[in-house]
C-alpha cells in the first residue's frame, strides 16, 4: 500500500444509553479500531448486530448517529484528519469525497422528489458538475448499474421502481459526485435473495469501473467475500480478525471467524414420509378482500407427523399467505385443509379450542410477537392457563420446565421482553408454542431477523425439540441454507403457485426447473469468485428487477 486514502487509528466511539429503570450512563461501543484503505480497494466490515460495524462506517464520514459520539482516535481521509476539520470541513467531505449507501433505499429516498433530482443533488451543490453534466453522468451510471431505460428512469419517483432498482439508484447517487470513498451499509440485506446477487454484481462492477474505494458493511460473510479485497471481522466493538479476503475465508485464525465461516452446517437426516399426514392442504386458492387476483392458486402440500415441511420463495410468492390460510386468518376461496384427521373450519372465530391448541405459530419478529407489558412468566403461562387450566404452583413448575427446555433458566420468569436479546426473545416465543403441546408449529421466517450464529442456535433447538415433542413444523423461509439444515420435504413457491414439491433430496437434486435453479444459485457461498460464476451461468432473470 503505497498511498492511503482512508486511515483510521485507534478509533473510539461512545454512546449514552437509557436502560429502563436505571440512570442514563455512557458506554463505549467501539474500542480502538485501526485500519487502512488504499484508493480503489474495498474493505468489508463484518460482524453481528451490535458489533459496531455501521458506527465505524459512519465515523469514516465523521458522523455519529443520535447519541453516538466519537470519543477518541483519528480518521484521515486523503491525509486530512476529518475529526479536527470542524463543521465546515465535514461539509466539504460529505457528499463530495465520501458518500453513503443506506440499507433501506425505500426509506432513504425522499418520496416527493424525482430520482434524478436526488441523484444529482450532492454533485451540483458541491459544485463538482453543472446540472446538465451531472445528469449526463447520472444517466451513464444508471446504464452501468444495469437499470432499465437509463435515459428516462430519473424522471420517476422512488415508489415507481422496484426495491432492487432503487438500491442501484442509490448506488448511482453515491457515485455521482465522483467520491474517493463510498460507505455501503448493508446495501443488499433488505433485498430478496434472487435480487441480491444482481445488485451485488452491479455494485461490484461499478466499484471496479469507477475506481472508487469502498467500505462494505454487512453481516453476511458470504456476501462480503464476493466484493471485498480485505475483511475486518468485528465483535462487540473490537477487531477480531483483519486480513485479506482469501485468508479470512479459507484460513481463518480466530475461533469466532471460524464459526462465522462454517455457519449453517447443521446435519439433518431426512425422514421418509409416514402414512399419517398431520396436515393436508388441498387445492387451496385464496385472495385478499377487495383484490381481484389470487395470491395462492391451487396449493397442494402434505406434512407428516414429527417432520418439517419447508416452504421457500421470495417475498410476494404467497408463502406467508399460506400460513394465514392454515391458521384461519384468511379463509380460502376454494379448497380445504385437513388437520389431524379432520377438516379445519376455514375461519378462525369458529374453530374449536382444541384445534387452536394443536396449531401454533412462531413469528419472524419476536419483539412484536410478545406483549411488551407482560413478563416472560405471563407470556409462557397464558397458554397453560387457557388450554389446561393450570394455576399456582402447578403452572409455575411447568413454566420452569419449559424455560429449561429452551435452554434458559427460571431467572427469566419475571423479565420483560425488552430485557431479552433477540435470540432469547425467539426462544420465549418457542416456549409459548410448546406450552400448548401442539401437533404443528408454523414457523414464519423465525430466523431471518437474527444474527447467523444466533439463528443457528434456534434451528438446533427446534430440531432437538422436534425429537422430544414429536411436533411437526411448517417452516416458511426465503433462506435456502436454513432449508437445507432442517427440512424433510420442501415446497418451492413462486407467484402464488407451488412450482416444485417433494422430499428434500429430490427437490434439491437436478434436473431443476428454471425458478428453483435461480433460487438455488442465488444463495451466496463462501467461495471467492462465486458471484462471477453464477452471473454467467444463469437461466432466468429474477422477478425483482
Partner 1 sequence: MKIIPISALIGLFFTFLYFFVAIFAPWIAPYGMAEIVGDVWEPSSSAYWLGTDSIGRDLLTRMIYGGRTTIFIATAATILSFTTGATLGFLAAVSGGWIDQVLSRFVDLIMAIPSLIFALVVLSVMPVTIPVLILVMGLLDATRVFRLSRAVAVDINVMDYVEAAKLRGEGLRWIIFREILPNALSPLVAEMGLRFIFMVLFVSTLSFLGLGVQPPQADWGGIVKENKEGIVYGISAALAPAFAIATLAISVNLVADWVLNRTTSLKGGRG
Applying CB under 8 A, the residues found at the interface with partner 1 are 18, 20-21, 327-329, 348, 351, 353, 356-357, 359-361, 363, 365, 368-374, 382-383, 386, 416-419, 432, 436
Phi, psi of 489 (to 5 degrees): -135, 160
Residue indicated by cell numbers 482512508: 6
The residue among 156 and 415 lying less far from partner 1, judged by its C-beta, is: 415
The residue among 235 and 427 lying less far from partner 1, judged by its C-beta, is: 427
The residue among 223 and 361 lying less far from partner 1, judged by its C-beta, is: 361
We find the least distance from the C-beta atom of residue 451 to partner 1, in angstroms, to be 20
The residue among 374 and 495 lying less far from partner 1, judged by its C-beta, is: 374
Q: How far apart are CA 303 and CA 273, in angstroms?
A: 8
We find the least distance from the C-beta atom of residue 356 to partner 1, in angstroms, to be 4
The residue among 224 and 370 lying less far from partner 1, judged by its C-beta, is: 370
For 298-329, give one letter per residue: b (16+ CB within 10 A) or e.
ebebbbbbbbbbbbbbbbbbbbbbbbbbbbbe
Phi, psi of 47 (to 5 degrees): 170, 170
- Helix-helix angle 163-175:131-144, to 10 degrees: 130
201's CB contacts (< 8 A; 6+ apart) are: 531, 535
Q: What is the 3-state secondary structure (H, E, C) of 116-163?
A: HHHHHHHHHHCCCCCHHHHHHHHHHHHHHCCCCCCCCHHHCCHHHCCH
The residue among 93 and 366 lying less far from partner 1, judged by its C-beta, is: 366
We find the least distance from the C-beta atom of residue 274 to partner 1, in angstroms, to be 27
We find the least distance from the C-beta atom of residue 366 to partner 1, in angstroms, to be 9
The residue among 300 and 350 lying less far from partner 1, judged by its C-beta, is: 350
We find the least distance from the C-beta atom of residue 349 to partner 1, in angstroms, to be 9
The residue among 418 and 528 lying less far from partner 1, judged by its C-beta, is: 418
For 481-497, give one letter per residue: b (16+ CB within 10 A) or e.
bbbbbbbbbbbbbbebb
We find the least distance from the C-beta atom of residue 11 to partner 1, in angstroms, to be 29
The residue among 357 and 396 lying less far from partner 1, judged by its C-beta, is: 357
We find the least distance from the C-beta atom of residue 371 to partner 1, in angstroms, to be 5
The residue among 125 and 350 lying less far from partner 1, judged by its C-beta, is: 350
For 360-372, give one letter per residue: b (16+ CB within 10 A) or e.
bbbbbbbeebbee
CB 391 within 8 A of CB 385: yes
We find the least distance from the C-beta atom of residue 209 to partner 1, in angstroms, to be 44
We find the least distance from the C-beta atom of residue 23 to partner 1, in angstroms, to be 9
We find the least distance from the C-beta atom of residue 96 to partner 1, in angstroms, to be 38
Burial class (CB within 10 angstroms; exposed 0-12, middle 13-18, buried 19+) of 191: buried
The residue among 333 and 374 lying less far from partner 1, judged by its C-beta, is: 374
The residue among 354 and 532 lying less far from partner 1, judged by its C-beta, is: 354
Q: Bridge partners of 218?
A: 46
Q: How far apart are CA 48 and CA 219, in angstroms?
A: 6
Q: Report which of 190, 175, 101 is spatially closest to residue 142, judged by C-alpha positions.
A: 175
The residue among 57 and 438 lying less far from partner 1, judged by its C-beta, is: 438
DSSP at 262: T
Element (H, E) at 164: helix 163-175
We find the least distance from the C-beta atom of residue 293 to partner 1, in angstroms, to be 23
Q: How far apart are CA 493 and CA 503, in angstroms?
A: 15
We find the least distance from the C-beta atom of residue 475 to partner 1, in angstroms, to be 17
Phi, psi of 80 (to 5 degrees): -110, 130
249's CB contacts (< 8 A; 6+ apart) are: 221, 225, 231, 261, 526, 527, 528
We find the least distance from the C-beta atom of residue 26 to partner 1, in angstroms, to be 18
70: left (phi over 0), alpha (psi -120 to 50) or beta: beta
In the three-class reduction of DSSP (H, G, I as helix; E, B as strand; rest coil), residue 361 is classed as strand
Amino acid at each position: 500500500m503505497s498511498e492511503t486514502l482512508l486511515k483510521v487509528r485507534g478509533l473510539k466511539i461512545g454512546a449514552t444509553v437509557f436502560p429502563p429503570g436505571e440512570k442514563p450512563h455512557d458506554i463505549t461501543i467501539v474500542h480502538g479500531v485501526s485500519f487502512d484503505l488504499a484508493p480503489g480497494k474495498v474493505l468489508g466490515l463484518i460482524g453481528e448486530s451490535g458489533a459496531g460495524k455501521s458506527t465505524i462506517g459512519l465515523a469514516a464520514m465523521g458522523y455519529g448517529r443520535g447519541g453516538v459520539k466519537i470519543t477518541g482516535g483519528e480518521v484521515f481521509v486523503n491525509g486530512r484528519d476529518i475529526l479536527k476539520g470542524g463543521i465546515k470541513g465535514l461539509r466539504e467531505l460529505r457528499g463530495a469525497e465520501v458518500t453513503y449507501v443506506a440499507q433501506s433505499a425505500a426509506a432513504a429516498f425522499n418520496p416527493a422528489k424525482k430520482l434524478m433530482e436526488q441523484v444529482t443533488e450532492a454533485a451540483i451543490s458541491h459544485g463538482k458538475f453543472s446540472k446538465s453534466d451531472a445528469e449526463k453522468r447520472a444517466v451513464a451510471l444508471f446504464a452501468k448499474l444495469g437499470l432499465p431505460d437509463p435515459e428516462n428512469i430519473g424522471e420517476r419517483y422512488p415508489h415507481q421502481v422496484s426495491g432492487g432498482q432503487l438500491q442501484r439508484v442509490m448506488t448511482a447517487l453515491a457515485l455521482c459526485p465522483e467520491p474517493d470513498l463510498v460507505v455501503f451499509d448493508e446495501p443488499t440485506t433488505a433485498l430478496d435473495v434472487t435480487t441480491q446477487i444482481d445488485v451485488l454484481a452491479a455494485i461490484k462492477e461499478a466499484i471496479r469501473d469507477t475506481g472508487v474505494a469502498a467500505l462494505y458493511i454487512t453481516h453476511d460473510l458470504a456476501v462480503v467475500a464476493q466484493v471485498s479485497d480485505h475483511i475486518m471481522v468485528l465483535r462487540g466493538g473490537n477487531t477480531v480478525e483483519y486480513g485479506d479476503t482469501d485468508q479470512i475465508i479459507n484460513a481463518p485464525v480466530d475461533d469466532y471467524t471460524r464459526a462465522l465461516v462454517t455457519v449453517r452446517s447443521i446435519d439433518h437426516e431426512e425422514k421418509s414420509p409416514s402414512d399419517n399426514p398431520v396436515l393436508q392442504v388441498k387445492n387451496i386458492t385464496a385472495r385478499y378482500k377487495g383484490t381481484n387476483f389470487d395470491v395462492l392458486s391451487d396449493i397442494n402440500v402434505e406434512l407428516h407427523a414429527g417432520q418439517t415441511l419447508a416452504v421457500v420463495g421470495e417475498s410476494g410468492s404467497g408463502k406467508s399467505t399460506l400460513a394465514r390460510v392454515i391458521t384461519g386468518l384468511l379463509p380460502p376461496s376454494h379448497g380445504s385443509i385437513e388437520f389431524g384427521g379432520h377438516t379445519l373450519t376455514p375461519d378462525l372465530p369458529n374453530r374449536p379450542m382444541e384445534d387452536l391448541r394443536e396449531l401454533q405459530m412462531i413469528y419472524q419478529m419476536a419483539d412484536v410477537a410478545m406483549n411488551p407489558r407482560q413478563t416472560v412468566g405471563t407470556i409462557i403461562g397464558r397458554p397453560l392457563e387457557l388450554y389446561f387450566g393450570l394455576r399456582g404452583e402447578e403452572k409455575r413448575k411447568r413454566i420452569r420446565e419449559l424455560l429449561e427446555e429452551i435452554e434458559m433458566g427460571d431467572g427469566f420468569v419475571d423479565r420483560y421482553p425488552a430485557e431479552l436479546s433477540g435470540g432469547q426473545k425467539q426462544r420465549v416465543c418457542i416456549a409459548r408454542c410448546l406450552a400448548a403441546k401442539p401437533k404443528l408449529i408454523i414457523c414464519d421466517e423465525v430466523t431471518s431477523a437474527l444474527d447467523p450464529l444466533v439463528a443457528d442456535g434456534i434451528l438446533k433447538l427446534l430440531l432437538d425439540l422436534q425429537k422430544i415433542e414429536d411436533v411437526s413444523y411448517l417452516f416458511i423461509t426465503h433462506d435456502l441454507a436454513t432449508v437445507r439444515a432442517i427440512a424433510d420435504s420442501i415446497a418451492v413457491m413462486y407467484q402464488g403457485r407451488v412450482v416444485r414439491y417433494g422430499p428434500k433430496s429430490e427437490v434439491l437434486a437436478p434436473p431443476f426447473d428454471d425458478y428453483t435453479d435461480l433460487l438455488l444459485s442465488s444463495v451466496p457461498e463462501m467461495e471467492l469468485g462465486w458471484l462471477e460464476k453464477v452471473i454467467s451461468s444463469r437461466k432466468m432473470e429474477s422477478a425483482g428487477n
